[in-house]
A and B are shown apart, each in its own frame.
Chain A
């Protein structure tokens, strides 16, 4: 008995300070820069849905809320899971005692109905992430507490795909009556219950007293206020009308808040799983010539830009196809061997000029660069690139297109070189590299190329049986994409800066602004 007691005391001593100091109560107030079109996570794609609506729901699995890499699977509605030897069957044990906000009990039937809606939506029902689950053959429920996913072939990213914060578990009976019910209504099993949504203004959630994770949530509630203007969001935090904004602020905002509020502000930062890419239209001459494309990437001094632009824009790390610091990211010393990543910019630009000469363009040439009309970070990155290209003899004219019309324009191929954008909810090679597959496999490849070698490398990494094997194929994919063929150019990885009230505890920044918004572990030190 004494031994048990001693161990308990020792365990308490080694617990992190925040675990010992958790306090109950208070309302977390946060601005949200955009508002969700509907409440249906299976249909929508915006963080404007996740930030105010995710606290009302649970997902089958989630990302470990304390993991700053935002990649570790963590139990949620499923308390455990197993994978079959052939890697094609995943069995999930559903937690008992989980109640919907209407008092009914969640069973495997609800999980199946929710995933059926996502993966096999009936006609007339939209699912944004159906394509991510093309590998799933069936979802079945042998009993009330077991869900089985059967895959067509083994997939290295299947578990990661279940960490999607959008995959809310809905009630099967409601879906059976009306598949569109969740577009206009909220009823989940999450740590907060829905109180009100005043359109254009705010969403309010109240503590779910019957939450299955006993003792949580710590907050009495939350209030998500829709504030479009970034200056007004910063003012809200500075004026202590809000505790935190979960998407991110600029370096200047961070510095101003810190200077104004000192210790009252805590800053958390992370590389951000968003990046601006440069699409090079392979259908337009001379961009069908890989020497010209390589010259474009070789002209860019990414290392200098990382230093300079990180002071004024939400970008920082020099990156390949994975967010730096995450499990499959290429180490910097290896990345720096790729064209456009060399640390000697003079050597790099000399090579760019040589390639242009070899391609029959010794005096350079002119082209139009289409950019999206969003100030941060499109504007500074656009200006930077045009200046870099000018230094190897390229005369670039920038054409800025209004945001809502932008992707319609570049999807039609009406451009030579254009800014493109990718943002993920989790860092996972399958998701992050899908963009670059041949155009017949992914119409969102605006470079409009076909590269079967690249496709093959993608498939091989997806089916790799060990981490080392997967890394090998990812490196080969990255080298072909960014160096040998220079199909796409990477700019700099976005950098997520969250300056928040020091009263906010228990929240960890990750590379994704879609993660860690369930708010069950967040508390206020007041």
Chain B
């Protein structure tokens, strides 16, 4: 098992390096830079070339690409992502501010999704082709069909029109004021968690149906074991494998991918930061965010593989 873990960890290095090279080059292929984004988009009558030259020099954009890349990679190896080209603030500070909110939202949405998906998926499988199964299918297909931001907009409209109330617009950490924190984050967590649960419910149902048809389940039932016990001790563990993959990938996606939902609920999260960094042509911040999100994906995949190995001994012995 240890050898397996070390091998997987070492494979992360070339993957992350590849991501770093690709994002560095891709950003520079796109027309425009941070200085143009800052000084040429406000409709000002006076555009100062002097100012643009000063800013480019200050940001190192006048240097050849290879020098810019080496300087950036040198910083990354020391875990120093540098300064945001847009604000001039340390990137770690910019990300830290948003990370707490994004992480909390991802955890809350995952909890909502898991709490819905696992029981509903199992129920739909054991009550296959009954009205319960149909009901769960309608519920989950509706979740797949509705984008979470659209559901978020509906929630806001209902709260505004029916209850004349709107969630707080500014993030308050849970330890500062749990009520305000929950009043803001519960709604996007429900909107995102519902869509997320729809995927997982479908997966749980089909995996469970497959497992329930296995010989060892039939044997267990034939021995006279109680259904709940068979499900809990024999079926669920095996049916969870594909669900864990889905939950893991979705969790990684939620950390940086909730761009529109964050806009709808005005959440100061990583998704919004990502979009702003790209639209501002903030190379350093975009590069750092891409590397972080890629790292999260790689680690989540790694954790999923470890969980697989734990759940299925055949994998670790291969």
State A424–B46 Cα separation when bound (angstroms).
Answer: 10
A274 within 8 A of B: yes
* Across-interface contacts of B300 in A (CB, < 8 A): none
Q: CA–CA, A260 to B98, complex, Å? A: 33
Bitwise, A278-293 to B at CB < 8 A (1) or not (0) is 0000000000000000
Of the candidate stretches A209-217, A311-319, A431-439, the one touching chain B is A431-439
B87 interfacial by beta-carbon distance below 8 Å? yes
Looking across the interface, which residue of chain B has its beta carbon closest to that of A410? B40
Known contacts: A408-B40, A432-B45. The answer to whether A38 contacts B88 by CB under 8 A is yes
Report the nearest B residue to A444, measured CB to CB. Answer: B47
Q: Given known contacts A404-B280, A421-B43, is B51 in contact with A236 (CB within 8 Å)?
A: no
| A239 (CB) vs chain B CBs: closest residue | B166
Out of B45, B161, B166, name the residue touching A435 (CB < 8 Å): B45
Task: Report yes or no: A239 in contact with B48, Cβ–Cβ below 8 A.
Answer: no
Q: How far is the CA of A202 from the CA of B165 in the complex (A)?
A: 21
Query: Which residues of A402-439 are within 8 A (CB) of B?
Result: 402-409, 411, 421-424, 431-432, 434-435
A225 touches B273 (CB 8 A): no
**A198 CB → nearest B CB, Å:** 7
**Do B51 and A228 touch across chains, with their CB atoms under 8 A apart?**
no
- Across the interface, which residues of B come within 8 angstroms of A307, CB to CB? none
Tell which of A37, A242, A411, A422 has the most Cβ of chain B within 10 Å.
A37
Q: How far is B86's CA from A124's CA once the two chains are assembled, in angstroms?
A: 17
Q: Which residues on A sit within 8 Å (CB–CB) of B164?
A: 239
Assess the B44–A423 pair: CB atoms within 8 A: yes
**Contacts A38-B88, A184-B88, A404-B36 given; does A124 touch B54 at CB 8 Å:** yes
Say yes or no for A22: interface residue by CB 8 A criterion.
Answer: no
Interface string of B154-168 (1 = CB under 8 A from A): 001001110011101
Residues of A within 8 A of B264 (CB): 229, 231-232
- Determine the chain B residues whose CB is within 8 A of the CB of A43 once the complex forms: 51
Q: Tell me if B169 is interfacial: C-beta within 8 Å of chain A.
A: yes
Q: Answer whether residue B15 sits at the interface, using C-beta atoms and an 8 A cutoff.
A: no
> In the complex, A246 Cα to B160 Cα: how many Å?
22
Question: Among B55, B87, B265, which residue has the most Cβ atoms of chain A within 10 A?
Answer: B87
Inside 8 A of A411's CB, which chain B residues have their CB?
Answer: 40
Contact between B46 and A434, CB atoms less than 8 A apart: yes
Interface code B30-56, partner A: CB below 8 Å = 1, 0 otherwise?
111100111111111111111100110
Please report which residues of chain B, range 252-283, place their CB below 8 angstroms from some CB of chain A when the two chains form the complex: 263-266, 268, 272-273, 276, 279-281
Residues from 178 to 222 in A contacting B, C-beta threshold 8 Å: 183-184, 198-202
> Least Cβ distance of B35 to chain A in Å?
10
Q: Tell me the A231-264 residues at the B interface (CB within 8 Å).
A: 231-232, 235-236, 238-242, 260
Whether the Cβ atoms of B31 and A409 lie closer than 8 Å is: yes
Is residue B315 contacting chain A, with contact meaning CB distance below 8 A? no
Q: Does B94 have its Cβ within 8 Å of any Cβ on chain A?
A: yes
Closest B residue to A133 by beta carbon equals B46
Pairwise interchain contact B41-A407, C-beta atoms closer than 8 A: yes
Give every chain A residue within 8 A of B265 (Cβ-Cβ).
232
Q: Please pick, from B49, B54, B160, the residue contacting A235 in the complex, using a CB distance under 8 A.
A: B160
Chain B residues lying within 8 Å of A405, measured Cβ to Cβ, are: 30-32
For the complex, what is the distance from the CA of A131 to the CA of B52, rounded to whole Å? 13
| Contacts of A129-145 to chain B: CB distance below 8 A | 129-132
| Known A-B contacts A198-B97, A423-B44; A239 and B160 likewise in contact (beta carbons under 8 Å) | yes
Residues of chain B contacted by A44 (CB below 8 angstroms): 38
Q: Decide if A408 touches B43 in the complex (CB within 8 Å).
A: no
Q: Given A405-B32, A409-B31, 10 other A-B contacts at CB below 8 A?
A: A45-B38, A126-B54, A130-B51, A200-B94, A201-B268, A232-B169, A235-B166, A406-B41, A407-B40, A424-B43
B positions within 8 Å CB-CB of A:
30-33, 36-51, 54-55, 58, 86-89, 93-94, 97-98, 153, 156, 159-161, 164-166, 168-171, 263-266, 268, 272-273, 276, 279-281
Q: Hey, which bits of chain A sit against chain B, CB under 8 A?
A: 31, 37-38, 43-46, 124-132, 183-184, 198-202, 225-229, 231-232, 235-236, 238-242, 260, 274, 402-409, 411, 421-424, 431-432, 434-435, 443-444
